[in-house]
Structure 1
């Protein structure tokens, strides 16, 4: 099981995540978020990273063109979407499929790299037929699904935990649809849940996504809490 730490706004917190061994690091470019980072500031943070492949751009674009604009401005290819339909995501991925071209010396080169899409989906206390179809539709076109607690149709930043039984059910539906899909679990993930439910989390989820529970306040991370969380993973792997 891997750990993604999201909501990074400060270079100090970015360094803490990298030193601790976070597997992915998320930067939120969504206006409604308390952890919103504007693109210029986001790019400055990315420049300081030791491994830029760990950076995840978290966006809620109005449409495919909006998504492409933000992707191009940051150069990131790990994208976490909180909007766009399954059809729009399919078209977005096609836009970024690598194609072979020939340079001036006659060498074959790729003009674009693959896009890795994580689609956030909201869960609460029940999974009905409509939610099953939603999970299946997005599983077919995405590389990863991220399950987060949903309030009034919005996901992310709630700090509330999805009942584990519901999250596991959603993960099973997604994996049955696309076995190689990567599954993220978000929503109030903290040290206590990681310690008490590690075996279940390890069995059904590829990543846990942590944000508010390693903070002193929105956008201000706590290095000790980050280290403690990642030590749980290290200890259980030993």
Structure 2
């Protein structure tokens, strides 16, 4: 199975295009104003329209009002929604679109509970726990907490970079990996060489299986 790659927190058109050309399957755009990687709907529309065919545009939200999500969707041609806060399954399911849910992991039961509660999701993203942040911590977590039984596609995030992603893919065997800070020069500014190295490392593991 080929491991998919999502490059998240993109804020510049050249970074979105470079990530797609390097082989990214999905690009993430953050619609959460406290984040240093936040993009406005106007900016995101231009970024999404620059993407080539077959690269998915994902919109990341954290505890949004439904009206805000609907406003973004009316302006930006997103393919997938990503909910990274404390949203209920009913809320996530209310927009008539495919969605994934992020869970911050402290113990294995966090993942098992999320698989059960968010069973209508298109995937479950597992990330490092931080009491003050809903993501983008740059920290990995104990991958051995991830169960082998996975009723949904599992997306691995948290502290990934080119120097550890091959080990992560080999150990966890996720459906996809999600990276933001690990391929940046500064927050929101991606590094093309780091993106390319990261994707190459993922593909290297796939090719040796």
TM-score by length of 2: 0.88
Q: Any conservation in 2 of the 1:28–1:35 contact (CA below 8 Å)? A: yes
Q: Hey, what's the Cα distance between the residues in 2 that align with 1:65 and 1:193?
A: 39
Question: 2:156 maps to what in 1?
Answer: 185
Q: Aligned to 2:35, what secondary structure does the other structure show?
A: coil
2:59 matched to 1:31? no
The count of residues paired between Structure 1 and Structure 2 equals 204
Q: Hey, what's the Cα distance between the residues in 2 that align with 1:5 and 1:11?
A: 13
2:83 matched to 1:81? yes
Structure 2 CA distance for partners of 1:52 and 1:23, relative to 1, 3 Å: closer
Match for 1:63 among 56, 62, 65?
65
**Which moved further from structure 2: 149-158 or 7-16?**
149-158
Q: Which has the higher helix share?
A: 1
Q: Aligned to 1:196, what secondary structure does the other structure show?
A: helix
- Measured after TM superposition, the shift of residue 14 of structure 1 is 1.0
- Measured after TM superposition, the shift of residue 162 of structure 1 is 1.4
Flag the structure with larger Rg: 1
2:164 matched to 1:210? no
After TM superposition, the structure 1 = structure 2 runs for residues 160-179 of structure 1, keeping only pairs within 5 Å, are 160-166=139-145, 168-169=146-147, 172=149, 175=150, 179=151
Question: 2:18 maps to what in 1?
Answer: 16
2:89 matched to 1:119? no
Structure 2 CA distance for partners of 1:65 and 1:50, relative to 1, 3 Å: same
2:171 matched to 1:200? yes
Gapped regions of structure 2 (runs ≥ 5) = none
Q: Hey, what's the Cα distance between the residues in 2 that align with 1:60 and 1:141?
A: 19
Give the aligned CA root-mean-square deviation in angstroms: 2.0
Q: Aligned to 2:159, what secondary structure does the other structure show?
A: coil
Deviation sequence 1:113-157 (CA, Å, 0-9, x none): xx1101111113x234x764344101x121111111121164211
Gapped regions of structure 1 (runs ≥ 5) = 97-114
Q: Any conservation in 2 of the 1:3–1:23 contact (CA below 8 Å)? A: yes
- Measured after TM superposition, the shift of residue 61 of structure 1 is 4.3
